[in-house]
Amino acid sequence: MVPCKPIAQQAQASVCRLTASLKLYIPKPCSWRFLRDVRGFSVSLCGSLLNKDVKVLGLEGFVFSDETSDLSDDEYRSACRTLSAIERLVEDRTRETLSNPEEASFFLPDEGWHPESQPSFELDGSTRNAQTSYNLLALKDRDIIKKMRLYCHAFTGYQLATLEFADKRPWVSKKLPDNWDDTLRRLAGPPDQSVFDYVRVSNALPEPLRITPPRRFGEIGWLWDGKIINSDTVSYLERLCLMEENGVLDWLTKRQHDNGNINIVEIGGGYGGLAYFLSLIFGENLQYSVIDIPESLAFSAIYLSILLPQAGHQIYSKDSPLRGYLTPGFTYVSNTLCSSWARKAPSADLVINTLSLSEMSNRQIDGYCKHISSIIGNTGIFFEQNHQSDHQGPGGIPPAHFKNLKKCQSGILGNNYPQRRGQANLWVNPAYQG
């Protein structure tokens, strides 16, 4: 048996050489905290290093925000038009609240999204949350828009701007300095656990599922095989992995082949990351609707409309003509209009919710489940991944509306699933015929 100390010493020396070759700045003195603090990381890393497998990682450096923040004049004007439309939705919600107080408990942000929720630790005791992030975006500041991904931690729980989980850092409540990349050079250090998780999982998946975020909106991360990797990349890779291993992607492919088009609805689409990756997988013959509070729609509508300009993009209103089933494109639906939209919407092949039902009130979960049940009919599937109690769904509510088709398993993800991001389930209506 090889003593632990020599192994650690060899690992430290090898990774020092690796990080030097990547020209990554490690604050001095180097505490080697990534070996000390990340449980299980040192073992896997040492094994790779001692087996001389470092080259297998294919690490190519770190991508900083100035390298990924182009925004043309036309794109900026488009983003401003989107923000103006969102402002009108917020104003409409205020009027709807006054005229329809019974429905207000459904469509007003609540629980984790309540305006007074405090998901971050602030030294001054102030309240900062998703509303804070939206207020920054609503300024229509060009620099904030072009580096929008650095302000998206409300949706993923990961603060990309500091490469830390959001609950460990104060909320980004002000515009970041123009030279923020200088700070990132001090924070980046050696590759974190997300890189190793990504390499392991992606290597077990088909090539089309080895996703990478676009080099836009200030996206940052470690570069491996030409792909930008950070904690958010791994989160979306996990969802695609679960869909692949549990037959959802194959089933959608068959539906697309048989029908010529597929219809996906996502409740709580965040900044649009999953919608973007699914659009790359299924191509142009995809109708995708995002249902969210207006403040969140601002992020996803800007992100997707600029990245996928060839697709049709519509911010739904009561007066908007609804896309037909065979009309590809993206529709953004304020939760205040969810009931109106659901009555008109074509049946969905797949409805998605990840990590947001568990942040809603029981009234809201129940309301969304009723809408989902209507949308999927007898042939569609509801895929959700949330932190659950006894795998019965947030608040125990989904079983009141659906039957559990499948509790999603994974032979690829390892010990991170389901503890890290929650148990995934496939739900269908009792009369499911798919």
Tens of pLDDT along 89-125?
Answer: 999 988 888 888 777 777 777 776 777 777 777 777 7
CA geometry: angle 58, 63, 64, nearest 5 deg:
165
Please, what is the average pLDDT of the chain? 84
Say yes or no to pLDDT of 31 above 70. no
Segments of the chain assigned to CATH 3.40.50.150: 235-428
Distances (CA, A) of 47 to 51, 210, 293: 6, 24, 46
Distance of alpha carbon 57 from alpha carbon 55, whole angstroms:
5
Q: Provide DSSP, 9-61.
A: HHHHHHHHHHHHHHT---PSSP--HHHHHSTTHHHHHHHHHHTT-HHHH-EEE
At residue 321, the pLDDT reads 66
In this structure, what token pair is assigned to residue 327?
A: 């009309």
pLDDT band at residue 142 using 50, 70 and 90 as cut-offs? very high
Q: 233 or 56, which is more confident?
A: 233
pLDDT confidence of 392, banded at 50, 70, 90? Answer: low
DSSP secondary structure letters along 73-124: HHHHHHHHHHHHHHHHHHHHHHHHHHH-HHHHHHHS--GGGSTT---S--TT
Task: Please give the Cα distance from 145 to 306 (Å, whole number).
Answer: 11
pLDDT at 212 over 90: yes
pLDDT tens-place string over residues 144-180: 999 999 999 999 999 999 999 988 889 999 999 999 9
What pLDDT is recorded for position 101? Answer: 79
Average pLDDT over residues 292-321: 92
Q: Once rounded to an integer, what is the mean pLDDT over residues 194-216?
A: 96
Q: Which residue in this structure is represented by tokens 């494109």?
A: 329
The correct answer on CATH 3.40.605.10 for the domain covering 235-428 is: no
- Predicted confidence at residue 325, as pLDDT, reads 52
Range from 4-13, 235-244, 381-390 that averages highest in pLDDT? 235-244
Residue in the block written with tokens 């001090």: 186
Least confident of 16-20, 274-278, 286-290: 16-20
Average pLDDT over residues 204-229: 96
pLDDT of residue 395: 59
What is the arithmetic mean of pLDDT over 332-357? 92
pLDDT of residue 305: 98
Percentage of the chain lying above the pLDDT 70 cut: 83
Q: What is the 3-state secondary structure (H, E, C) of 380-414?
A: CEEEEEECCCCCCCHHHCHHHCCEEEEECCCCCCH
Q: What is the DSSP letter of 323?
A: P
> Would the pLDDT of 378 be above 90?
yes
Under the banding of pLDDT at 50, 70 and 90, the label for residue 389 is low
Residue 128 has a pLDDT of 85
Instruction: Work out the pLDDT band at 126, boundaries 50, 70, 90.
Output: confident
**CB-based contact 377:429 (threshold 8 Å):** yes
Q: Any alpha helices (H) in 203-272, and if so which ranges?
A: 231-245, 248-259
Rounded to 10 degrees, the C-alpha dihedral 177/181/182/184 comes to 110
- Give the pLDDT confidence score for residue 27 in this predicted structure: 33
Amino acid 6: pLDDT: 36
In this predicted model, what pLDDT tens digit does every residue of 394-412 receive, in sequence order? 656 677 889 999 999 999 9
